[in-house]
Amino acid sequence: DLPEIDTGTAPEATPTRNAPAAQIAREVQRRRTFGIISHPDAGKTTLTEKLLLFSGAIQLAGTVKARKSGRHATSDWMEIEKQRGISVASSVMQFEYRDHVVNLLDTPGHQDFSEDTYRVLTAVDSALMVIDAAKGVEAQTIKLLNVCRMRNTPIITFMNKMDRETRDPLELLDELESVLDIRCAPVTWPIGMGKTFRGVYHLLRDEIMLFAAGSEKADQAFEVIKGIDNPRLAEMFPLEIEQLKMEVELVHGASHPFDLEAFLAGTQTPVFFGSAINNFGVREILNALLDWAQPPRERDATVRAVAPTEALFSGFVFKIQANMDPAHRDRIAFLRVCSGRFERGMKIKHLRLNREIKVSNVVTFMASSREQVEEAYAGDIIGLPNHGNMQIGDSFSEGELLQFTGIPYFAPDFFRSVRIRNPLKVKQLHKGLQQLGEEGAVQVFKPVQGGELVLGAVGVLQFEVVASRLMNEYGVDAVFEGTSISSARWVSGDDKRVLADFERALGHNVAYDAAGNMAYLATSGVNLKLTQERWPKLTFHATREHA
């Protein structure tokens, strides 16, 4: 029997179904849904805060920062729970700017880095890449950009911290192009850096925006001087302006002019220089996001593509967050709306379970708090209370069978074997891990030979969360231990006999995941490479689609 779906008893809105097509089209058109990709410390939190200040969504600088400093990895369950409570508010931040509705989806970094971080990127329409100009391209940026690649997500680049000594800007662009394999179109160009940072030159508008140390003001205006040949500039900073002229010539010759189509295809990124902490250049990237990045587009489902302006509601779950509110011990399934209009109190169909649910106490995410949502359109994220019956990748509609595709699982980077102190609890352990695996909290592999289950994660905090939840929700005291496994790949092949041979020959390193897919658990990069070479008829995948 399926568990009861309890969506609570919040007051109902009176449904007024079938919003006029023009209204849906208008609402879709003004929506922008994006995430920030960056390496820890590049300035994501600072930038998020400035964006929220600009839009008036928060009044107080330090609000987002305070949340961040509240987060630290710890094995204390209550602590994790508390942090989850804190971080949910910043999981999705919706704000308005220039008559647009902007949804900013958080991509947890630091110790919070997990599969969620990757999967959030499957729910955005564009991404903002923040790079510390003193450091250049860093590891986590590369990982996240590769995920954006899967859907050709358009990327806007912000070179941050120009008020510090940075690397040479031309060299930075070079690195972006070679390491990330994306063409760069500088839109603004820095004048000096660090102590002699004078501002930026807008290559498309032929304007110079003068740098001034920022304040906590919401939307700061910086002085603008028209024309690179303006004599005022030569008076103000003769040295830097000469340098700028030389560089601009170089840039015009060596880099690509901005091309909207290439940007939208994900092959070119417009690059802006600035300093988030000083508000400097932040408005430019927000405008670029509104003017250049697109509103929600069509999404692929198994049967057909779904247009955002369709009259009927549809969407998919891309993330499940557990136990966020210590008072309620609830889980929330984050659903991205793909079409139509959602309104509180309406009935939607959970397609995998083939049953209708009435969603009353849905949450939306205004920048400052969890709030009751009245309506939502394509691009918006809504939170559905969930008691263990929703999984990553689940699709919802008003009846039509629309299983959305493109919600991947990622090959884990960290592995633990798991055993329990009390062998009588083995059933609970398997049940717990099965459910946590389905939910996407961790990946569970059962080796063909050998008894111990192997857990895989892309961030180590995932193991702590799983250990705590096993204890709290399933009464299982599990011990996680290091393993010799260093990477995993899902294995597929057309010839069933070859697959069977593979399983027999390498049984200790062949395993099945929670959804029953075969995987190869490699002990090293070399081991993986050799195995791939020895089994040319099999394909080894670093991602797999939700089944």
Residue ranges that bind ligand G4P, judged by CB under 6 A: 38, 40-46, 160-161, 163-164, 275-278
At 541, is the secondary structure helix, strand, or coil?
A: strand
Annotated binding residue 110: yes
Give me the least distance between CB of 163 and ligand G4P, in Å please: 5
Q: Are the C-beta atoms of 497 and 112 separated by less than 8 Å? A: no
Annotated binding residue 43: yes
Annotated binding residue 162: yes
Give me the least distance between CB of 62 and ligand G4P, in Å please: 9
Query: What b/e readout covers 342-373, taking b as 16+ CB neighbours within 10 angstroms?
Result: bbbbbebbbbbeeeebebbbbbbbbbbebeeb
Q: How many CB atoms lie within 10 A of CB 328?
A: 11
Q: Which of 315, 289, 324, 375 is nearest to 35 (CA)?
A: 289
Annotated binding residue 69: no
Give me the least distance between CB of 39 and ligand G4P, in Å please: 7
Annotated binding residue 174: no
Annotated binding residue 108: yes
Question: Which CB atom, from 185 or from 282, has the smaller least distance to ligand G4P?
Answer: 282
Annotated binding residue 109: yes
Cα 101 to Cα 22, 55, 97, 335, distances in angstroms? 17, 10, 7, 17
Give me the least distance between CB of 96 and ligand G4P, in Å please: 23
Question: Which CB atom, from 109 or from 393, has the smaller least distance to ligand G4P?
Answer: 109
Question: Which CB atom, from 42 or from 320, has the smaller least distance to ligand G4P?
Answer: 42
Annotated binding residue 546: no
Question: Which CB atom, from 133 or from 528, has the smaller least distance to ligand G4P?
Answer: 133
Give me the least distance between CB of 40 and ligand G4P, in Å please: 4
Q: What is the C-alpha to C-alpha distance for residues 531 and 222, in angstroms, rounded to an integer?
A: 58
Q: What is the C-alpha to C-alpha distance for residues 129 and 141, in angstroms, rounded to an integer?
A: 8
HEC assignment per residue over 116-168: HHHHHHHHCCEEEEEEECCCCCCHHHHHHHHHHHCCCCCEEEEEECCCCCCCC
Question: Which CB atom, from 44 or from 370, has the smaller least distance to ligand G4P?
Answer: 44
- Helix axes 238-254 and 169-180, enclosed angle (nearest 10): 30
Q: How many CB atoms lie within 10 A of CB 411?
A: 19
Give me the least distance between CB of 35 and ligand G4P, in Å please: 13
Binding residues for GTP: 38-45, 106-110, 160-163
Binding residues: 38-45, 106-110, 160-163
